[in-house]
Amino acid sequence: CTSSQNTFSGDKMVSCNHTLNHFFERVFPVFSLCLDLIPPGACNLLNSSAIYANNEVNLAEVDIYGFDYDYTLALYSNALNTMIYNAAKGFLIEHFRYPEGILKYDYIPNFAVRGLHYDIQKGLLMKIDAFHYIQPGTVYRGLNPLPDEEVLELYGGTYHVPLEQDSGFYGKGPKVKQFMDIFSIPEMTLLAVANDFFITNDIEYDPVHLFKDVSEAIGMVHLKGYMYKWVVQDLDKYILRGEETHAVLHKLVSSGKKLFLITNSPFSFVDKGMTHMVGEKWRDFFDVVIVQADKPHFFTDCIKPFRRLDTKGDLCWEKIKSLDKGQIYKQGNLFDFLRLTGWRGSKVLYFGDHLYSDLADLMLRHGWRTAAIVPELEHETKMVSTGRYALNLTWLQALTGLMERLQTHRDPESQQVFLEWQKEREELRIMTKNLFNPQFGSIFRTCHNPTYFSRRLCRFSDIYMTSLSCLLNYDLSYTFYPRRTPLQHEAPLWMDQLCTGCMKTPFLEEMSHIR
């Protein structure tokens, strides 16, 4: 660590009282022992191809597998984000008459991450933890971070965002919106860019109007079919790992499982993509196919009836009395779906990327098993598996434990050392955050708490994975067991916990207070 030499300087040790001297003699070797605290092979334990469990799931009990399409069956390349951003930026200028100076802002691929919150009235993009607290250093107005002091002033002396501002079930509170799907990344970037333009050019504007305009511009890209056209024109460029999707579907059907598809995308778009990935007979894999479902309303409303589409994609007029294999259905609702199929409860496992629109209602209201597709896991597990991360985190935890002990010593020398350690701890937090994303860090953690996104991921998904292809690594009778994570009042003694990089032996007794 950068300040470890200053922290353990000889002058300070001599000047401390006898108790503190004895304390230092015990903890002085801690930093040098950080490497010893990291279990052999700990950096190789995580695998982005693994499936992670929030809840126990026995695949032998699952008979029916359901899927979303976008970012579930079809994974898209980052090039699509650039296209969405550029098209929406053009709409801002052409349709909403925004200054042409915004055109000079190119797309910034690694600026935003999924799960961020946006304060609509203040025009601030930020990361919030599971307890509704803003992570210091992650509040951006435009493309620049806001000083922590200014953030505290704006929020009445606290980092806390009141529940009533962010209480919407689908992440849409009256003043704060959470961006939960992968398609929202270019929207967050455009919001930051537009704010930055007005600020740097000293142009007065209302952040509420800007938010509304950017949201509509992004919506126009989808509603006008631009995204569908780009993907269909160059399927090889935009769709990734299609052969793996084919392999998953073949494996499930060969094992006698029933499959269904519920997507908001139109049939013509889905048909082109699935034909590219699976072949012209892709519909043979599915027992039910539903397009333009209008999720999440599909899961909550019982008003819209199912409509059948003919081979040309045109609407038919007969009343739907059954959902038949080989047919394509539009709209509908989950209540009719359950009535017509009888597919209920934990024998159904549904895969989707959007925690709210795809998974929340199914888990909470209908008892289906749910699986979240989180492509960001590939990058996150790669970072967590590096030696640099392991060393940073181990020393950060050790330093936190030392501070916890030292705070009981009230003499001036001890307090001075405590302040230096506090500064070093903050430096370590920033270093660790920057490994994932320089602006906002990991999508799963703030400094030490889970993020709001991570909390929702645990709440609404039984299992989660990088991509659908992770299923290829498991037998269909496999049981996923969640790791038993010690609660704060429990000792970290379980073997599955010791193998995750948190092992304290051979110094467990000395450092048992470090969690």
Question: Which bin fits 241, alpha (ψ -120 to 50), beta or left (φ > 0)?
Answer: left
Looking at this protein, which amino acid is placed at residue 394?
Answer: T
Q: How confident is the model at residue 172, as a pLDDT? A: 66
Residues of the chain with CATH 3.40.50.1000: 51-76+238-374
Please tell me what DSSP assigns to residue 44. G
Q: Name the CA dihedral angle for 494, 55, 40, 428, rounded to a multiple of 10 degrees.
A: -100
70 classed as catalytic: yes
Task: Check pLDDT > 70 for residue 20.
Answer: no
pLDDT tens, residue by residue, 315-363: 999 999 999 999 999 999 999 999 999 999 999 999 999 999 999 999 9
Domain 51-76+238-374 annotated CATH 3.40.50.1000: yes
**pLDDT at residue 322 in the model:** 96
Q: What is the DSSP string of 462-473?
A: SEEESSGGGGGG
Task: Work out the percent of the chain whose per-residue pLDDT is above 70.
Answer: 85
In 437-465, which residue ranges form alpha helices assigned H by DSSP?
A: 452-460
Coil vs helix vs strand at 172: strand
Mean pLDDT of the chain: 87
* Per-residue b or e along 404-436, where b marks 16 or more CB atoms closer than 10 Å to that residue's CB: eebeebeeebbeebbebbeebbeebbeebbebb
What residues contact 105, with CB distance under 8 A and at least 6 apart? Answer: 89, 193, 196, 197
Residue from 305, 334, 295 nearest 69 by CA: 295
- Which residues on neighbouring strands pair with residue 57, listed in sequence order? 480
133's CB contacts (< 8 A; 6+ apart) are 159, 160, 161, 446, 449
pLDDT at 449 over 80: yes
- Expressed in angstroms, the distance from the first to the final Cα of the chain is 20
pLDDT at 354: 94
CA distance 354 to 295: 10
* Catalytically annotated residue among 68, 166, 361, 462: 68
Point out the least confidently predicted range of 23-37, 237-251, 380-394.
23-37
**Structure-token pair, residue 121:** 């009235």
pTM (2 decimals)?
A: 0.86
Q: Residue 426's pLDDT is what?
A: 93
| 303 has pLDDT over 80 | yes
Q: Which residue has the higher pLDDT, 507 or 479?
A: 479
User: Does 17 score more than 50 pLDDT?
Assistant: no
Q: Which pLDDT score, from 0 to 100, does residue 502 have? A: 36
**Is residue 353 marked as binding?**
yes
3-state secondary structure of 386: coil
The arithmetic mean of pLDDT across residues 305-314, rounded, is: 91
What is the full DSSP assignment across 489-514? TS----HHHIIIII--TTSTTTTTT-
Task: Name the residue among 370, 366, 372, 368 with its Cα closest to residue 300.
Answer: 366
Q: What is d(CA 422, CA 416) in angstroms, rounded to the nearest whole number?
A: 10
Determine the average pLDDT of the residues in 279-283: 96
Burial 307-324 (b: 16+ CB within 10 A, else e): bbbeeeeeeeeeebeebe
Confidence of residue 37 (pLDDT cuts 50, 70, 90): low
| 69-122: pLDDT as tens digits | 999 999 999 999 999 999 999 999 999 999 999 999 999 999 999 999 999 999
Cβ(294)–Cβ(357) below 8 Å: no
Q: What is the DSSP letter of 316?
A: P
- H or E segment and range at residue 339: helix 334-341
Residue 13 scores a pLDDT above 60: no
Averaged over 139-159, what is the pLDDT? Answer: 96
Radius of gyration of the chain (CA): 26
Write down the pLDDT at residue 39. 59
Segment 178-204, tens digit of pLDDT: 999 999 999 999 999 999 999 999 999
Query: Is there a contact between 437 and 185 (Cβ–Cβ < 8 Å)?
Result: no
- Residues 433/145, Cβ–Cβ less than 8 Å: no
Whether residue 513 has pLDDT greater than 80: no
Work out whether strand 306-309 and strand 328-331 pair parallel, antiparallel, or are unpaired. Answer: antiparallel
Tokens of 213: 């305009």
Distance of CA 401 to the CA centre of its chain: 29
314 is in an annotated binding site: no
Q: Residue 47 CB: number of other CB atoms within 10 A?
A: 14
Rounded Cα–Cα distance for residues 187 and 50 (Å): 30
Residues 50 and 440: their CA atoms lie apart, in Å, by 25
Helix (H) or strand (E) holding 434: helix 412-436
Which listed residue (11, 36, 63, 70) is catalytic?
70
Query: In the annotation, is 314 catalytic?
Result: no
CB-CB neighbours of 201 under 10 Å: 11
CB neighbours of residue 278 within 10 Å: 21
13 touches 23 (CB < 8 A): no
Instruction: State the number of CA atoms in the 13 A half-sphere of 140 facing the CB.
Output: 25
| Peptide bond before residue 296 is cis, with ω within 30 degrees of 0 | yes
Residue 499, pLDDT score: 43
pLDDT of residue 35: 59
Q: Judge whether residue 312 has pLDDT over 60.
A: yes
Q: Token digits for 341?
A: 């199929």
Q: What is the DSSP string of 63-112?
A: -EEEE-TBTTTBEE-THHHHHHHHHHHHHHHHTS---GGGGG----TTS-
Cis ω before 506 (30° cut-off from 0): yes
Identify each DSSP E strand in 172-305 by its residue range.
176-178, 239-240, 258-262, 288-291
Interval 387-408 mean pLDDT: 89
